[in-house]
Amino acid sequence: MKDSLFQVTKMYWLNKKWDFIASASDMAAEQGQILVIATAAVGGFTLLVILTLFFLITGRCQWYIKAKMKSEEKRRNHLQNGHLRFPGIKTYIDPDTYEDPSLAVHEFAKEIDPSRIRIERVIGAGEFGEVCSGRLKTPGKREIPVAIKTLKGGHMDRQRRDFLREASIMGQFDHPNIIRLEGVVTKRSFPAIGVEAFCPSFLRAGFLNSIQAPHPVPGGGSLPPRIPAGRPVMIVVEYMENGSLDSFLRKHDGHFTVIQLVGMLRGIASGMKYLSDMGYVHRDLAARNILVNSNLVCKVSDFGLSRVLEDDPEAAYTTTDLFQVLTLSLCYSP
């Protein structure tokens, strides 16, 4: 009886031991599987990170190479006519350095179709011809007031270059206190039209020196003069309603407050600082060359005598009358 009980007990504990060993073996197998899965996951993640870094680095290298190529191409393009333009820094380029001055005009000024221009009246005269007021039809079909500088008929090539040089200069500037260039007319021809549709007094001044005289018609009377097709040269700028500062202040002497006059001075100073930052000096800063719009905003104009900063550091500049006019206005302001 004791032997059989001993045998049963022995078998029981042997079975328990075997179950424990089997359980331990199963746990070890499970842990091994988990370890394999974890190792594979870490390896896969590491591989993904490596591939991501690889693509990022190679992509950045390709972007850098392309950017460098573009930068080099821009640098070569900026090295035109002996000038180096630094990216993000706008500097003045002297039109006289171009072998062909017309290239400077086409680079800095927009060509305007003369059919978009309607000249209304003569408002002054300049060194090269008359100045007219008129309207310019914009691409959006809206008309804006403009001033049109014209070149006298029978001009020489040198006069034409000097005339368009000012447009090449103005076209490089973009500032609220610098007169804005709308464009030029150099390529297109006006169709033959009646004088009254263009600008009568302007034509009499000799814009086109081949005007046909009035001629009689059957039944009495005569046809108006007509302009044969010709190629005008014009500079179109924004229209400044109040004209030059000197005549405007003298006409309205004592009508402005100190705040208004100081505002005008600040505008002129802002425009001149902009020109200085561009590396450009205005040789004829005078009240007659400051234009005033309807909002009393003063804008620097007349760049025909201006030059690059480095050209002639000993040149004399005309500034006395500007400060005399403004100082007197400040003294007598209410």
d(CA 212, CA 230): 12
CA distance 115 to 108: 21
- Known catalytic membership, residue 284: yes
159: β partners: none
- Is-contact 177 296, C-beta < 8 A? no
- Say how far apart CA 254 and CA 58 lie, in whole Å: 71
CA 20 to each of CA 15, 24, 27, 158, 268: distance values in angstroms, whole numbers, following the listed order: 9, 6, 10, 112, 99
- At 104, is the secondary structure helix, strand, or coil? helix
Catalytic residue among 96, 162, 284, 321: 284
Residue numbers in the known binding site for ATP are 149
Residue with tokens 């302009």: 227
CA 255 to chain centre: 36
* DSSP letter string, 109-177: S-B--GGGEEEEEEEEE-SSSEEEEEEEE-TTS-EEEEEEEE--TT--HHHHHHHHHHHHHHTT---TT
Name the β-bridge partners of 122: 132
Residues tagged in the binding site annotation: 149
What is the 3-state secondary structure of 256-301?
A: CCHHHHHHHHHHHHHHHHHHHHCCEECCCCCHHHEEECCCCCEEEC
Where in the sequence numbering do the catalytic residues fall?
Answer: 284
